[in-house]
């Protein structure tokens, strides 16, 4: 009988026999002899292509810190990073390089070069260092707003000193809040089940095109398959400030938050100009949000006169924001409430 065909994507076809078993897998332009087992499936090819594109930009960082006490040997640590410009600007994690007195970076081409700390931001666990050399290949940043749950996520870094180790999985959740290894609460992170280990920190999390969708930053200790990366859009905003000023000027509300779709009936009933907002999952005691009357379960939809459709919007509005009174609009029990708030300078 004629085999059934199920098209997976352009140019790739899954051929099933009458019993429903996979009998061959290949491309429309290349047919294998009957019974020959393919060397690589579509998933493997996607991962390999992505790794080939991002690997030339991924670096291994060795850090030397001042000794804890006089007379002791300097403290050393390692981590990962990735180059984002031809002149050597490189993204990594704050907890890796903060306070470093010496940085040495190993590049994929075998070179070992010194680097200097440009700036770091403990609030997002991001940092920028600059290599004492130029490079030919550097990473391309993707739009993290276009990332979807279930898509392929590939991490590459130097866990336990094994350089350019690759792990892959999927995007498990978006718009989460998570604590970094340094204890800071970071919003708008991507959760993935791609295995991350000590040393992966600071490396890129990429999509199947080899574009950076996040900066790997932490894992939940004592669990399996729960790892996090700061979304690329947030990373670009923060690293821009670090390169420009060496630090990030910002204010904070004191909430843990994540993106949320607003019920359609509420959007229609209140004639809202948006379909998404920022759901408050927790409010810190004595914070600006608590003093303003913001409660867990509220959905933030505006700060001042600017709509807030997601955590990215909130971060952008608070970055560079001078600590002054403004309004915050939230949805609570299908009602729109305006509150007066004074974000705290960080």
Identified catalytic residue from 201, 208, 232, 279: 201
How many angstroms from the chain centroid is the CA of residue 55?
A: 17
Identified catalytic residue from 24, 94, 95, 313: 95
The alpha helices in the chain, defined as continuous H runs, are 42-54, 94-97, 232-245, 264-269, 288-292, 311-318
Nearest to 187 by CA among 288, 94, 279, 291: 279
Identified catalytic residue from 120, 125, 187, 298: 125
φ/ψ of residue 269, rounded to 5? -60, -40
Q: Which residues pair with 152 in a beta bridge?
A: 170
Catalytic site residue 164? no
Distance CA 47, CA 136 (A): 22
φ/ψ of residue 146, rounded to 5? -95, -5
User: Quick check: 207 and 168 in contact, CB under 8 A?
Assistant: no
User: Quick check: 276 and 263 in contact, CB under 8 A?
Assistant: no
Distance CA 143, CA 308 (A): 18
First to last CA, the chain: 70
Catalytic site residue 40? no
Catalytic site residue 65? no
Q: Which residues are catalytic?
A: 95, 125, 201
């Amino acid at each position: 009988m004629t085999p059934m065909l199920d098209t997976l994507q352009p140019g790739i076809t899954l051929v099933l026999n009458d019993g429903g078993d996979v009998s061959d897998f290949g491309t429309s332009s290349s047919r294998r002899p009957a019974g020959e087992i393919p060397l690589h499936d579509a998933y493997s090819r996607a991962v390999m292509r992505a790794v080939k594109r991002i690997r030339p930009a991924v670096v291994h960082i060795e850090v030397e810190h001042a000794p804890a006490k006089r007379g002791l040997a300097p403290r050393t640590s390692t981590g990962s990073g990735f180059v984002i410009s031809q002149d050597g600007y490189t993204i990594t994690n704050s907890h890796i390089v903060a306070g470093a007195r010496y940085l040495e970076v190993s590049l994929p081409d075998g070179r070992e070069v010194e680097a200097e700390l440009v700036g770091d931001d403990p609030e997002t666990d991001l940092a920028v260092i600059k290599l004492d050399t130029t490079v030919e290949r550097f990473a391309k940043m993707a739009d993290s707003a276009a990332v979807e749950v279930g898509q392929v996520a590939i991490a590459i870094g130097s866990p336990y000193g094994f350089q350019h180790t690759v792990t892959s999985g999927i995007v498990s959740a978006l718009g989460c809040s998570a604590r970094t290894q340094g204890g800071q609460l970071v919003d708008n992170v991507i959760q993935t089940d791609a295995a991350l280990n000590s040393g992966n920190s600071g490396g890129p999390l990429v999509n199947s095109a080899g574009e950076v969708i996040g900066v790997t930053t932490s894992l939940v200790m004592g669990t399996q398959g729960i790892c996090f990366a700061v979304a690329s859009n947030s990373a670009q905003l923060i690293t821009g400030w670090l390169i420009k000023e060496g630090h990030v000027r910002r204010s904070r509300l004191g909430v843990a938050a994540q993106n949320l779709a607003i019920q359609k009936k509420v959007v229609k009933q209140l004639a809202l100009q948006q379909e998404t907002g920022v759901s408050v999952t927790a409010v810190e005691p004595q914070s600006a949000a608590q003093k303003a009357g913001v409660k867990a379960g509220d959905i933030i939809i505006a700060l001042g006169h600017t709509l807030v459709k997601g955590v990215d919007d909130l971060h952008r509005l608070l970055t560079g924001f001078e600590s002054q009174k403004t309004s915050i609009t939230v949805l609570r029990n299908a009602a729109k409430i305006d509150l007066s708030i004074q974000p705290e300078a960080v």
